[in-house]
Structure 1
């Protein structure tokens, strides 16, 4: 029987690559995205597009209102998204976001009788978010195996982070080899409703540098300022 996996799909470059990896590894993939009150809502359209064209068995959007607690430039319109180059944990960090997302993915995985969850976190070319580090993933996997029926019955829940140790250029090369169409993805924190990128935020900077260093043509569409 084909193994099932829940794959977190944001609509960005990394998650599109992870979905392709999971498909290539032979998993029947159930793509999960979140409408959490983010300002860059074009990523939800991109997530649906990536899931449908990338071969996911099903695609689901869970609605949460993290804007009600704020604390991030991505969920609070009163906090400006900075250009690339900020030091420390940036204001685009969304408090506990990956903890919340993985918890819901864990619940869906139990319903599907899936023992595997894929997430595109990265600890090399990233913005300094604490919930993208190996220590967080290891701790969450331990929690998952204590808190679930699957864990208690001995099946074991596994959190896969295949991009954790890769540079953005490595990710671009990997995804290109897997046939990922990065023109379908949206990474920008200030993307407009048409999915066009600002070209100045940290996410845009990391993405552009990744394509440049990989020697792959950048398909990103930028809006005119």
Structure 2
């Protein structure tokens, strides 16, 4: 893992994982501010909250990526998560342990495809908006997971074997949601374009009750700025 502090990346290519939510949109803005040429990558993976894909299109257009690629997967074919199996209800109360909204191996699958695209683009950098502070207990959002994946990436690729070091950037890893929102606003992010809700309507209306909505709402309170999210109630 690495966090740039200098804007010395002008012209460098980077793959940015963009879900259409608050965190990944902030990461895209951060990568652009650091001078990277951003290649945004989103996934149509069978998620029940498909409004996030429309949000990803909006934020990529607004922030000016070089290319936005949407890769179709069928993680709903294996299920195991409230986000990919409509028979499992999205919890509307806080739960202990790893919640049912955890999608098995999702970040590993997403990062693997990002790694492949980075090789094709001859890009040394991948950005992902994982967070160890407000991460809902997901095991694939922890610093040790990202560090392990980065080690694997540099062992498993032609680029790595030939001496091209790939870095996984996690600029939000140790930031609270309020700090993330303040950072994004300073970079001109319009959070009204984003969707975080696990069960948003097709029009992007948020339930206001799931974990993602609670974290988002609390983040705006912490940041001391109006919450522009469109809630059902």
Common fold by TM > 0.5: yes
- Which residue of structure 2 lines up, in the alignment, with residue 179 of structure 1? 188
Q: Is structure 2 residue 17 aligned with structure 1 residue 8? A: yes
Once the two structures are superposed, residues 87-108 of structure 1 have per-residue CA deviations (whole angstroms, 9 ceiling, x without a partner) of 1000000000000000000000
Q: Is structure 2 residue 47 aligned with structure 1 residue 35? A: no
Of residues 62, 68, 71, the one that matches 2:80 is 71
Q: Is structure 2 residue 18 aligned with structure 1 residue 18? A: no
- Which residue of structure 2 lines up, in the alignment, with residue 197 of structure 1? 206
Of residues 210, 215, 219, the one that matches 2:224 is 215
Q: Is structure 2 residue 115 aligned with structure 1 residue 106? A: yes
- Which residue of structure 2 lines up, in the alignment, with residue 162 of structure 1? 171
- Which residue of structure 1 lines up, in the alignment, with residue 4 of structure 2? none
- Which residue of structure 2 lines up, in the alignment, with residue 86 of structure 1? 95
For structure 2, the residue ranges without an aligned partner over 5 or more in a row are 1-9
- Report the CA distance between 1:3 and its aligned residue: 0.3
Once the two structures are superposed, residues 38-63 of structure 1 have per-residue CA deviations (whole angstroms, 9 ceiling, x without a partner) of 00000000001111111110001000
4+ aligned runs moved over 2 Å, structure 1: none
User: TM (normalized to structure 2)?
Assistant: 0.95
Q: Distance in 1 between matches of 2:144 and 2:155?
A: 17
Q: Distance in 1 between matches of 2:227 and 2:201?
A: 18
Q: Distance in 2 between matches of 1:131 and 1:104?
A: 15
Q: Distance in 1 between matches of 2:61 and 2:166?
A: 25
Quick check: 1:126–1:206 contact (8 Å CA) kept in 2?
A: no
Aligned with 1:29: secondary structure? strand
Aligned with 2:126: secondary structure? strand
For structure 1, the residue ranges without an aligned partner over 5 or more in a row are none
- Report the CA distance between 1:125 and its aligned residue: 1.2
- Report the CA distance between 1:214 and its aligned residue: 0.7
Aligned-pair RMSD on alpha carbons? Answer: 0.7
